[in-house]
Each structure stands twice: as C-alpha cells, then as structure tokens.
Structure 1
Amino acid sequence: MGVVAGVDSSTQSCTVELRDAADGRLLGAGRAPHPPTSPPVSEQHPNDWWHAFAGALAVALAAAGLRASDVDAVSVAAQCHGLVLLDRDDVVLRPVKLWNDTTSSPQADAMVADLGLAAWADAVGSVPTAAFTITKLAWVAAHEPDLLDRAAHVLLPHDWLTYRLTGRAVTDRSEASGTGYYAAHTGRYLVDHLDRWVRPGVPWADVLPEVLGPSHTAGWAVTPAAAELGLRPDVVVGAGAGDQHAGALGIGLGPGQVLYSLGTSGVVMTTSAQPVHDASGWVDGVADATGGWLPLVCTLNSAKVTDTVARLLGVDHDELTRLALAAPRRADRAVLAAYLDGERSPSRPHARGLLGGLRSDTTREELALAAYEGVVLGLVRGHDAIRAAGAPADGTVVVTGGGARSRAYRQVLADALGTPVETRDAPEATARGAAAQAAAVLAGADVRDVRDAWTPRVVDVVEPGTPLDPQVRARYAALADLPQPDETARAAGVEE
C-alpha cells in the first residue's frame, strides 16, 4: 500500500490528510492552527506554517497508526497570492503579506489606472486587486526597497513549503496565474510587468520559481528539514497548487459544475476548457490544477460574517442557524452588504459592512438570516459574472468549506439560486485534492484520471424552498453598490 500526504496550508490552519495512493481511502488526518490575522494588515511568518505542518503531520500519522517513513509522496496546497521573500541564505526577509492584506490597494489602483481593466484581463486573465502578489511586491518597492536588493527568491506560500521539502524553487501554473505577472494562456512570466510596476533592474528571471505542470514532480524530500519530519529522501513531492484550485480537484468538479466554497474567504468557481478574460474585473481567469482553467470570483468576507453576527447576538452557530431558518421571508426584511473587512470582489478595500432595511419590529431571526444572505448574495453576483464572462456555469451546484456544514448556508444558497445544492464527502477538499495530486505523481499518472477515480460521493442535497424575492436581491445590490464616505475621501486624496 502506497501512502500519500495532502497538505492544506490555509490562512487559519494547516490540515494534513494521509490517503491510500491506490484508492484514495482516508487513513488519518491532523490539523494545527496558524496565528490569527485580520485586515488591513494581515501577515504571518512562514516558520509558523512549517511548525503547523509538522504538528498536523504528526497528528495524522498517529491517527493512521503510521510513521513518517511510511509516506511515499507529498503535495502541498496553500493560500494564494502571499509574498514570500528569501535571501541567498534562504532566510525569510519579512513576514508574508497574505492575500487578505489590503495595504497594497494604492499600488493595485495605480496599476489598473495605468494599464486599464481590459488590458490587464487580456495580459494575465485577471485584473489585479490588493490580493495579487504583484501589488505586494510594489508595496515592498515603495516602503522597504532594500529587501528587493537582498531577495534571491520570490515565492508563494505553497512554493515555500515545497522549497523546504525539496530545495527546489518551483511553483505550479494555478498559483502562478494569480500573481499578476504570469500569463498562463501563453505559459510565460511577464517580466516587463515587474519592471514597469515594481522596479526595473531586479534580476526577475533569476528570482522567480520555475512553473510546473499539474502532474509534474517538484523534487524529492531531500532537505534537512524534510529529514527532521522523518520523511525518506526518496519521497516524491508534487508541484502543489493554490488552495481553491486543489479544492476543486478534491471535490471532483466536472465541466460546467459550480463550486461555492465558504471558508475564510468565499469563492464561486467553475471549470473551463478555455481561458477566460473578464474586462469587468470581477472574474479571475486563473488556471486550474489539471491543465485547464478555473474562472472564479473570490470575496474577502465569508464564514467570518456569520461568526461576527453570532457573537453580536450572543449565540453559537447552531442557534444562529436555527434563527435564520425560522426567519419570516418578508420582502422588506433587513439586508446586509457584508464588507466587514473591505472587499475584493468587487474591489472595495476600504468599504465596510452596511445593514439596511431595519424596522422597529426587526427580529433576531431576520438579523441572522441577513448574515447568511449577505455572504451568499455577494457570491451569487460572482456566479452571474462568471456566466457573463462566457464560462458555462449552469451545471450541478456543490458547496464546500467550513460554512457548508451549516444547513442555513446551504438552504439560503439553494433558495437564492432556485436549484438543488449538494454536499460531497470531502470535508477537507483542499487536502484531498493535494493528496490526489501526490498520488498522480507517485504513479506517473494524469491527475485528471485520479481526480475522476477519487470523486467523492454525494452525502446531502438541499432542495430550494422559499424562492428569493427579487426585491430582496435588488435591495441587496443597491446597498452593496452604495458609495461610502471613507472610500470617497480616499479617492479624493483626503487623509483620515
């Protein structure tokens, strides 16, 4: 029996799944937390990721009754976009600015103003926001320029973990396509983008990692750090992937099917055989983890919205779910534009949450429902944008992530779409997808074949109940698009 390890190094924690390489059977799993962060400054040190990985691997091995020397292959999926800078001695030069760090929004705005929405979409498939790595590099150039002089490697989070295992600076096309300086549809880095918007004169071709295909081998676990984990030096390491890309792989997302992922971020995505270039800026036309494309819309505010409202109401999540499902569905109920920490899609980094439609008889139940609908309706707008960009997105709807455990999220989504919503037996879809990639690399197989063989079974289907009143959606859209004073002041150059 071959054993593969799939790693999900997310914003909040690291999860490791150990699976049978032949049939995908789960053998054991473990999790360890990462330090909490909160925008606008959201940073973590990569060493914390490594310690969490080591801890999660140890727990998974104990649960499976295995030793580290029993592992035959590893693949790492991780949170996207974060900027990891290493010097020539492999020392991390500064804490990593994560995807949800919004301090580089001025750099993002300047890039978009300079090149334009359509030209950015044509060049890299997406319009950069503060999440994108290129904007974080531009922030470093503006505020800590000496670090660029010292940088020997510019990596992404999963690249760094793979580097610690193999000693090779590599990435994969799914992650590279979200940087703002890699064109996945042509398979090349756009060094001119880095010269133009970060700084000329940096040897970009030397500091950027090699881009691998989804079934390629990144290397072997030959480093002292890998040996400290107990891994054999002949353990093969896959190319890795972005967390959402690996999640689609773990779910077994097929053509035209739509995945709603409800975690720290909210994501709606589909698979596509063709690249997508959306000049509106809503849709990220990124590559997927199988050789195709994964047009997606990502929001900053997802499950933490219901975390916040549960805290404000003084209830746990079970009670928040009960309240929301018991709420009357009147058309003039309260609606929430859930921009608690700014927003990525649409790009409004300085926006804040707005609650509209309060009445003197508004109930706790309606406030709970507004929280779930505020998250869901933002993603449904993203779903509409994916369709408008030309990607088929009318197939089976699947929901995953921590928020998917809530019946309220699943019911609200089914009601908003007017279609059944299914949950598959993949509670840790990203780690499962990474394990599938590791199995493919170990066997020398195409990752798409492993994905199809490992597609998890359907465990729950929620049918639509009360249809979403069009007035609710219209009132939500009006509130979500409302200009806010802080944004207006910043646009005018007024200091806070």
Structure 2
Amino acid sequence: MRAGTFVIGIDFGTDSVRSVVADARDGEIAGVAVAPYARWAQGLYCDPRANRFRQHPLDYLEALEVSVRSALRQAGGDVASRVRGIAVDTTGSTPVLAGAKGTPLALCAGFEEDPDAMFILWKDHTAVAEAARINHVARTWGGVDYTKFSGGVYSAEWFWAKALHVIEANPTVARAAVTVLEHCDWIPAVLTGTTDLARIKRSRCAAGHKAMWHPEFDGYPSNEFLAKLNPRLPALRATLGAQTFTADTPFGTISPEWAARLGLPDDVVVAVGAFDAHMGAVGGDIRPHQLLKVMGTSTCDMLVVPKTGAPEILVAGICGQVDGSILPGAIGYEAGQSAFGDVFAWFKQLLGWPLRAVLPALPCAGESSREALADAVRRAALADALLEEIIPALERAAAAIPPSRRPVLALDWLNGRRTPDADQRLRGAIAGLDLATDAPRIYRALVEAVAFGSRAIVERFRSQGIRIDGAIGIGGVARKSPLTMQVLADVLDMTVEVRAGEQPVALGAAMFAATAAGLHAAVEDAQRAMAPETEARYRPDPARARLYDALYRDYIQLGSFVERELTQQGYHEEST
C-alpha cells in the first residue's frame, strides 16, 4: 500500500453524522468532523408522546457534505486527493418509502413536510401493533416462521413493521411508494448516483437482522406471507431483489456530482452500507466469543461466532443472527438494550427540572429591564453549568455507596425492552424506596439495572449454547463512566475491556472502506492494521460478583412482576 493512502468512514448517528479520514495503513485519524441534523435539532416531524421519530432526508445529505468537507479540511494538505474508499454506517432499522428511482418521498413534490414520507428512525415505536400482527401471523399462518432467525420475536423498531404502519396509516404515501429503502442502502446509492432499483446492493446486515432475509427463505418472506399482512407488501418486496451483500463489497464508484460536492477524486470506491453497531463492532476490534457492547443512548450487543459446519443454533429473543453481518464468513449475532445512556439522561433531566422551569422564572425585584435580561442570561448559563455537573457528581457519590443486599432496585426498560424478547410496551420501575433514599442511591440502582439488563442478554446466549468469554465496551458511556463499567464487570463476572478512540464506529466504517477499495485483502486484515488500543480493563471483584448474582435474581423477579401486571392491564398506553 502506498504511504498516505486514506479512506473515509461516515457514521450516521441519531443526532448527527460524523466523518473520519483515516490512514488505511494504521488507522491513524487525520481528520474528524461532526455535523448535526438541523431539522432534527429543532424537533421537527417528531412527537415523543406518540413515540414518533422521523428524520428528513435533507438532514442526512446536508450534514454528510458538511462533515466530510470539514474532516478533509482538518486533515489538510493533499489528503483529499489520496482518498481511495468510503463506507457508510447508519442507525437501523431506519427505513423510508421511496419512488421508482429510489428517491425518498419527502424529496418529491407534495410530500416535503409529511413525516410518513421521511425516514422512520430506529427508536420510532409507532408500529407496535403492526409488529404484534407480524408475530401472530408468523406463528399461525401455517407456513414458515419467518421470525426464527430474528430471535422469534419481530420488533416495532424493524423494517416490515414500520413499512406496514405507514402504508396503512397514510394512503397517500402508500399509493406513491414504489420501494422501501434502509438508510444504509440509500446513502451508497446517492453517493454513486444509482437510480435503478435493481442495481442497489442491499445490505446483508440490514436485510438479515431487520427484514427477515435469509438464504433458507430464498430471500425475504414470501409474497403469500406478506399479503396476509397487507396486499401492498408483495409489490414492495419485488423491488428488493433476492440477493444481499456484505459491507466489504464495493457498491460502486462515487458519482461525478458527489465527488465534486465532497472534494474527492472521481475514482473513490463506495462500499455497501451496514448498521452502525455492526461496523462499530469491527472498529472496536471484536473477536470470536467476545460480546462487544456499543454503549450510547441504547446498546447494541454484538457477538461473532465462527462457522463450524454444525447446524446453526437458533437463539430465541435476540435481534437476529446473520451470516456475514459483522465479519464476512462468520455468524453475527445482535442483541441490545433499548435504553442505556438514555436511562441516565432521563434521571439528569428529572433532577434538573427546577433549573429549567423555576430558576429562570424567579422574580427580579427592583431590576431594570436591561438588568433583568442580563440576570436571565446569567441564570440560563448557571442552569446549563449545573446540568452538566449532575451526572459527574452522581457518579462520584454513587461510587462511594457499597452494593447492598437490600438496595433500591430498578428496571432498565424506560424505553421498552429490546432483548431478550423484544417488547416496546414495557416500562421501567424503581422499587425499595424509603425516606432515606437519595439521588445517588437511585443513580446507583439505575447503573446496576442497565448492568442486569446486559446480564440477561448474556444469560440468554449461554442458555442456548452460545459461548461468551468476555466483553468489550465502546462508545461514550464505556469511556466516561468507570462506575458503570466496574459494575458491569461485577454483574457479568467477566473482564470488560474498553477500546480507545472517540469514533470507533466511524473507524469501523473506514476499515470496510479500506477492504472494499482493495487496500486490505479482508476485514480481519484491516482490523489488525487499523484497530485502536485497549485503554482500560475492568476485572470483576469476586465478593461483589457473588452479591450481584443474588441481586440479579431479584431484578428478574421484579421484571417478571412488572411484565405480568402490565400484560394483565393491557399495557399502560393501551389502557389509558
């Protein structure tokens, strides 16, 4: 490889897109930039009370251009002229209904402001009822259970449930729709100028984990099955093709338009896309039988198991198992928690409510209007400063509290449960409160709850014959919360490694870009050359591990009680 050969990894997150320019020889980051989604930042097209979260495609395109150009500008020199590959990861399942040329309907006349014509973000839970129908039909229609490689439970967060919800809720959008595209499939099509639906290389990762694609089914679920859900679905299925591609495969070459917009050579190779957690697992240097946790607002838990020739073990209640979804040639397993960092963010906002609602409204007796305005600005700055200190202060105080056999006990289902056994209707809970309970004790209970949720995932894999030897953490929580990582090690009773680097997911995309561009022969070679170092190791304390083993059983009992009560009540949101 020629010295100074660069690739770009582009990571589309929930709030922003980040781009890294990396040296393909050793993974050294030459430039990095983050660009927020302007419309999303304003809260447009979303209704949190209805669990509706939509993103406009223009947010993606505008932020893509800003982030790549900014990262190249930071890299400086002639780096842009030496870029050879691009790979993209996105959240998922984040699909959009699109027209005959793969154009999202929100970019078509008449649909510019229609949320149903936009990308349906991963955490949108408007399709709970449709997911329940998919699960019911899969079990009762008399044919193949198409959920069997998706843990046996289809989620409201996934491709077909979301498409079904939109076409039934919005007839105008349904009539205009020709196909459905995952975000990770659309961006490579845009970058290469691909408008022929038959030439769009669909991601193996996205299709296998979220759209029930599998070679055993000769592709996607049959027309007969889909028609039982809605007669429009078979026509949409016909546009998807039957083949899928791993992310080390070239999607095509960058188009002249996008080469000019990004300031890149016109021979840059664009790789097939994939989901953020899967490319992040590669960027975090995942190894066989090591559970890699992408720890952000939620978690995605990734596991790679080499193929042995023995029959594939079906693991119930996970987010799917797909040949090649993480590393080509190995089975990639996905699980995760619907809320992780979001649990702590919720508690921060809860405690900070007076700073937003009371502090700015305090009377300013005797002040002039100019003085009152200056005082309001000072108060707002004080509120922001105090909010930023809440979690660090709680972390320090909670770390000083020893684990107890009779603690405050919490459930981590504040945004529903992803795995084991997806159910977005479930809710969190806190038990064991008394008049001595303070904020640090509740915070510690929340830390323990997310660790117990992680253990439930590990226990599910192990109970079904899948070996897990250790854990790896990447992402903001892994690097910023030593308490969370130590509790996780104690609860799992295994060593947890934390990878260095601010952008492991985008770096993983860069590894796929280097492979697709032919700079490395295989993804594993790119990993060996470009992977980050381990910056911390958390080893379990045997005494705390024994205590947490007992507390985990209490967590399971509390969860069973809450789930049973909510089920008997028809779930909170359905009974109110």
Give yes or no for TM over 0.5: yes
Is contact 1:300-1:342 (8 Å) kept? yes
The aligned residue for residue 557 of structure 2 is 478
> Which residue matches 1:114?
137
Per-residue CA deviations over 1:77-112 (Å, capped at 9, x if unaligned) read 111111122213554221211221111111111111
The number of residues matched between the two structures is 495
Q: Tell me, in whole angstroms, the C-alpha distance in 2 between the residues paired with 1:490 and 1:59.
A: 50
Counterparts of 1:184 and 1:325, CA distance in 2: 49
Question: What's the CA shift for 1:430?
Answer: 1.3
Gap change, CA 1:44 and 1:432, over 3 Å in 2: same
Matched with 2:114 is none
Q: How does 1:325-404 map to 2 (within 5 A)?
A: 325-345=399-419, 346-394=421-469, 396-404=470-478
Amino acid at match of 1:221: I
Distance 1:187 1:28 in 2: 42
Q: Which has the larger radius of gyration?
A: 2
Match of 1:33 in 2: 36
Q: Say whether the 8 Å CA contact 2:35–2:67 is kept in structure 1.
A: yes
Stretch moving more, 48-57 or 465-474: 465-474
Q: Output the amino acid matched with 1:46.
A: P
Secondary structure in 1 aligned to 2:279?
A: helix
- Map of 1:94-173 to 2, 5 A cutoff? 94-116=117-139, 119-122=145-148, 127-168=153-194, 169-173=200-204
Q: Is 1:297 aligned to 2:335, yes or no?
A: yes
Residues in 2 aligned to 1:123 and 1:297: alpha-carbon distance in whole angstroms: 12
Q: Indicate which of 394, 401, 420 corresponds to 1:320.
A: 394
Contact 1:343 1:351 in 2 (8 A): yes
Rate the CA distance shift 1:448–1:211 in 2: closer, same or farther, 3 A: same
Residue of structure 2 in register with 1:449 after alignment: 525
- Does residue 88 (structure 1) correspond to residue 111 (structure 2)? The answer is no
Task: Find the counterpart in structure 2 of residue 23 from structure 1.
Answer: 26
Moved more, 95-104 or 81-90: 81-90
Q: Which range moved further: 22-31 or 60-69?
A: 60-69
Structure 1 residue 219 displacement after superposition:
0.5
| 2:178/2:236 contact within 8 Å kept | no
- What pairs with 1:158-197 in structure 2 (closer than 5 Å)? 158-168=184-194, 169-183=200-214, 188-192=219-223, 193-197=225-229
**Higher helix proportion:** 2
CA contact (8 A) 1:81 1:132 kept: yes
The 1:491–1:418 alpha-carbon spacing in structure 2 relative to 1, beyond 3 Å, is closer
Counterpart pick for 1:286 among 322, 344, 348? 322
Alignment pair present for 1:74 and 2:110? no
1:404-429 deviation per Cα after TM superposition (whole angstroms, max 9, x unaligned): 12111111101111222111224322
The change in CA–CA distance for 1:98 and 1:389 in structure 2 (over 3 A counts) is farther
Match of 2:266 among 233, 256, 279: 233
Contact 2:21–2:71 (Cα < 8 Å) also in 1: yes
298, 301, 307: which is aligned to 2:345? 307
Query: Displacement, 1:127?
Result: 2.6
Query: What is the distance in 2 between the residues matched to 1:461 and 1:185?
Result: 40
2:94 is aligned with 1:55: no
TM-score between both structures, scaled by the size of structure 1: 0.92
Distance in 1, Cα, partners of 2:67 & 2:453: 33
How far does residue 150 in structure 1 lie from its aligned partner after superposition? Answer: 2.4
Deviation at 1:159, TM superposition (A): 1.0
Aligned mates of 1:171, 1:386 — CA distance in 2:
28
* Long gaps (5+) in structure 1: none
Counterpart-to-counterpart distance in 2, 1:286 and 1:319 = 42
Structure 2 gap ranges (5+)? 106-116, 195-199, 353-388
The correspondence of residues 237-252 of structure 1 with structure 2, limited to 5 A, is 237-252=270-285
- C-alpha change, 1:208 and 1:146, in structure 2 (3 Å) is farther
SS at match of 1:202: helix
The answer to whether the aligner puts 1:270 opposite 2:303 as a matched pair is yes
Partner of 2:108: none
Q: What's the secondary structure of 1:361's corresponding residue?
A: coil
**Alignment RMSD, CA only?**
2.6
8 Å Cα contact 2:184/2:203 also seen in 1? no
SS of residue matched to 1:311: helix
Distance 2:266 2:216 in 1: 35
**CA drift at 1:313:** 3.6
Confirm or deny: 8 A CA contact 1:283 1:382 kept in the other structure.
no
Q: Secondary structure at the match of 1:416?
A: helix
